Structure 1
Amino acid sequence: MNTQKFDSAKLLSNLSRNSLMLHLTGRKYNGDLFSVTPTINKNVQQEIIDLIEKQISYYDNQNLKQYDIVGSIDDTVEYANSNDYINKLNEIFSSLKQPMVLNDIDPNSFDFFTYEFKSTNGKPIYVFRKINRMKALKKGILGEIANGSFTKIKSSKLLGIDNAIDFIVIDDKIFIFHHISLERVLKLNDQFKDKAKDVLSNDEFAEKIKNFDELKKRALENGNYVKRLAKLYKNDGITAFLEKIDRTKSVIDQFNLDIEVNKGQLIYRDETQIGNFVNLMQDSYYKTLIGNQNGIDEKR
């Protein structure tokens, strides 16, 4: 089976070099987004475009795989359908279309850049990057040397534009270069938690797992378990390990899992067992065909 590759040339061919707009976006205390769109001169505009194009080209021909909320793979560009996150994206786009007017911009007020381009077909292309607040310089002194003199620059007002990009939204696709930044910019944690709660709402869990309410409570307090559970959203096989107790008992014995089975019920005792329960929901335990070795795939 051929592995899909990221085609940077195809993406760059859709990007117009004469259309860059720079947006800065932050959140108010109530969680609402606000944006500003400062003007940038042509020279700086072209420098930013050069940085973005070089960075997109850097990822050329890397493996292209579907976004996995559990975790990313090194040297891989992930992709997702933008419609899966349309509410979050529309919240950002609405903010960009109605920018605020701020004369004294404090970079610490903002969370991310959006570089907006026009594509060759006239549709927008959005390039996202978390803002670098240059925190390393907060306790130091930043300056420049001009005419033989060192002059201090107020670092609290500096805005760092680096050569990195986090993800791109083009048409109905999102290309993801930094996995965690997508989740932070789009504030996906709440969405993951809602899906995890939906997964754990299945009545069969409460019937066949003793002390399930406590298991559920503790699992939803752990971000890693929340992501793994959210991945099971709309998965019809999550209760298979409860319906086939004999097979589950065999897995528990083979992998020496710390789970007691009593009268057709699994017994939850404390939070040290949560990982095992989630693995059972994911059907993560396996035996290799050639080496006959036991293994666990927590990204299933």
Structure 2
Amino acid sequence: MCRELDYSDISLSFIIVEKRNGMLPNLFKTYPVNISDKNEFKEKLMKNIINYIKNFENKDCLSYDPLKHKDKTFEYLEGSFISEFFDFKNSFGLDHLTDYKNKITDFNFYVLSIKDNLGNDIHLIRKMNGYKKINSHGIFAYINGKELNQIDNPVIGIDNSVDLIVYNDLIYILNYNSIKKFFNLKFSFQKEVVNILAPVKERGVIDNYDKFERNIRSNDKLTNRLISMKRKGVNFDESLNNKEELQKTIADFELNVVYKNGKILFDKSKDKEAILNLLSDYYYRTTQQKTKGIVDK
């Protein structure tokens, strides 16, 4: 992506984003801002950011894992995984203001959008810097010679960093924690739990399944663990089908899980996380030393 850009044949647009939080998908107000026609400004703006992105060229790009980030990597997440993603993307520039002066402290992020000569759209997202307090309760100034002068208008800072890149409906996460600050992943992941566990519900292998599902959705730790399992390729279509091995695993690992008549009894099983590990077939024993373990533990 960095190598394809030709500074002489791209168009830029700048959008400021006001985020409104809630238990439902986040809502966004997106305001377009005209960029100065000065080529020197545009080129400096782009080169600083592209040079930053190039730092990631030799890093591995991994599927997003909500449990942990690995060093020397960055992640990707499908836009379809996030409830408000397409509403956000389609809203770019729909809201308008005639004067940003009194709104500048309400903004949370900005988006620098690039359209290359092939018609590809690349959206670079960055959180606003810490100037809100100064814009609200202080002043900005510059020194001209030996004289201190006030800058009359509120300002924003544009550094050379990027938190997220949106490209072809994929979100590339260069700052691991930024995805949680921008989108309401909790709401999106809770919805995804229902889809992931649908085969388990259909087969009726967990007694009082609805309570089990609610327990997963209401517990961030269990929700993130389930999402992590799914994104690592765990298939839940055949979970708990091997009754003999399932009973053996429960006994060998001394799990506080009750299994009778082909079903896990959720209410009588005290170890709720163990049920999730059983669904994912995460318990193992090494072939030589017979050491027992749990995947990712």
Q: Partner of 1:101 in structure 2?
A: 97
Partner of 2:218, secondary structure, is: coil
CA-to-aligned-CA distance 1:32-76 (integer Å, 9 cap, x gap)? 432112234335433332321121111121112333455432211
Indicate yes or no: 2:193 matched with 1:196: yes
Q: Partner of 2:13 in structure 1?
A: 21
CA-to-aligned-CA distance 1:259-291 (integer Å, 9 cap, x gap)? 233444323348962221111122222233455
Match of 1:76 among 73, 77, 80: 73
Distance 1:176 1:282 in 2: 26
CA-to-aligned-CA distance 1:154-201 (integer Å, 9 cap, x gap)? 99x553333321222234554332344335434343332112023344
C-alpha deviation, 1:237, in angstroms? 4.3
CA-to-aligned-CA distance 1:5-42 (integer Å, 9 cap, x gap)? xxxxx533235365332211124589543211223433
Q: Partner of 2:173 in structure 1?
A: 176
With normalisation by structure 1, the TM-score equals 0.75
Distance 2:246 2:83 in 1: 39
When the two structures are aligned, how many residues end up with a matched partner? Answer: 287
Structure 1: which 5+ residue stretches go unaligned? 1-9
Structure 2: which 5+ residue stretches go unaligned? none
Identity %: 21
Indicate yes or no: 2:95 matched with 1:116: no
- Residues 154/298 of structure 1: CA separation in 2 closer, same or farther (3 Å cut): farther
Distance 1:166 1:249 in 2: 46
- Residues 275/149 of structure 1: CA separation in 2 closer, same or farther (3 Å cut): farther
Distance 1:138 1:273 in 2: 51
Match of 2:87 among 84, 87, 91: 91
Indicate yes or no: 2:63 matched with 1:66: yes
Question: Which structure ranks higher in relative contact order (CA pairs < 8 Å, sequence separation ≥ 6)?
Answer: 2
Q: Contact 1:168 / 1:175 at 8 angstroms: preserved in 2?
A: yes
CA-to-aligned-CA distance 1:199-255 (integer Å, 9 cap, x gap)? 34456589443444333222211223223334549x894264532232122222332
- Relative to its length, the structure with more helix (as a share) is 1
Distance 2:160 2:270 in 1: 42
With normalisation by structure 2, the TM-score equals 0.76
